Structure 1
Amino acid sequence: MGGHAAFRDGETKLPYLVFSRPEWAALRANVPLSLSEEEVASLRGRNEPVSLADIRDVYLPLSRLLNLYVLASRSLNSMVESAFLGAPRSAVPFVIGIAGSVGVGKSTFARLLRAVLSRWPDHPRVDLVTTDGFLLPTRVLEERDLMQRKGFPESYDLRRMIGFLAALKAGERHLQVPFYSHEAYDVVPGQFETIDRPDILIFEGLNVLQTGSERAAVASDFFDFSIYLDAATADIESWYVERFLLLQRTAFRSPASYFHHYADLPRDEAKDVARRIWQRINLPNLEQNILPTRERARLIVRKERSHAVNEIRLRHL
């Protein structure tokens, strides 16, 4: 069983249970391995070596925990509605927020978690929404001189984001989420993804655990469970540079890519560009806006240099 511990970097002690990877893996119990190697390969990121062992040791115990949370939430809601309100209402989605830095592997983590959770018969309909669709359009960012602040809190249409989450938790149907193109590096006008009251919604983004003013609602107000994907800052920078170099050889080759002008840079120059982007934009955002929200998460997943998860911290109930 995991024990108590403060963060290694000396931050405030919080009531977390700390599990090594073997300790966490033992909590899988009898949850069956539900993904094939081919499915894992189709869901992992370009430079993230996720294996069936990771699914078995990390994701299956997490899916078991989340299944218990979903069932407990439904039971409580049903009890309140029948015994107190006297009028049952339609079940609303259980919302899981996933936060963490650019380059830490949130997208892959969210896709794999979605796949594993959807194998449970209790909640087969699992949708995934990223906050990218709530970024302000490029023309607006340029008008406000925010292109170098893309990903910072002020670069999002927060009113639209909060409106979506509020409507979701109110049980509304056929909600539209703006579509974001990573190739165009922009929200695509007139294109949407429709979210129609899933069993579970995974909401993934950089700043989803950030607090706001006392009077303003924030995304985490609508979360039933929250996860922070963590790693040493130096490792995240290294992964970001590696991913940039990989994209330079692949996605950036497309003439339609916003970053096409980087496609033919010599490798050393491309490395320098990636490091400058990291130092100028992503590192300040991590230090100022993302990392300070880590302790607000119910679960903290810590990755080591190899990308493997080596520690899990679960906040006490």
Structure 2
Amino acid sequence: MIKAKIFTILFLVISINCIGQGNDWTYENFESKFISYVPTKKEHVSNKNFSYGEFVVVETKKNINNKPENFNYANYWNVTNALYALNEKKEIWEISLKKLGESKDGCEYLESFKEQAKFYNDSKELYDNLILNCSSFLNQKEIEFNLFEYVKKNQLDLELVKLIKNVSENDQKFRSVDMGKQHEIDFKNQKIIDSLFHNYKTYIGKSLVGDKYKSAMWAVIQHSNIEMMEKYLPIIQNAVTEEELSVVPFKMLIDRVYWINNGYQIFGSQAGVDLADKKTRTEIAKKYGVE
């Protein structure tokens, strides 16, 4: 009788845990469910994938300060990759993917990192539909966007904003459809950014082009070569310090540089790339003044 009761209790605990880990995640409660989520290693999940997924979960909770309202596009991207690596149910990580597509600046992530998305083939229909919706949404936003009002309201230089707007649009022009054509455009963009930096002696960020285009220069650098990335890494760091750019793109650039040079990343923004050991991650984060 006692053994039967113990078995019943254990069964209930396991059942409740399983429910808590997946069966009742919804679009509405996704963020709060994630905050209480604790990864458990599943049988067919490699140590590498589990380590990556667990790290991203911990880092994301830290970044949002355990507050659902603090989720942004980068968090949704990272969480989608983490839940996929941890082999959570498709219906769970696809919620995060949907929220990414509907979040501010999420469309840029979907288009920019389609080739890196390990989960793409397992969610091709949803992913492609989100990109199509993004195109319609962005086209509508562009129709509604008045460049002259934007420049006047923010007291910006019209010609500079026109130029950086063109750079930003070209950065995504063929990225998800034809990388051969995109590479040619990327090279032209890189020359423009070098010229702008030579003229202005600073990062072309919020003060010069406003919130809408403050990440345009970073995007060109992120999609460039290792020489350009390393050249502008301290410039990007200073831009973050001066609040000309948010810290998320800076972390992504650091990850890209360390991935290319060392084969590992620091902050977990690059899907499928090994994380550095904890000691190295702590040292690099301290070196660049980011958590």
- For the criterion TM > 0.5, the same-fold answer is no
Structure with bigger strand share is: 1
Who wins on radius of gyration, i.e. which is larger?
2
Which structure shows the bigger proportion of residues in helix conformation? 2
Larger RCO (alpha carbons 8 Å, 6+ apart): 1
TM-score of the superposition, structure 2-length normalised? 0.28
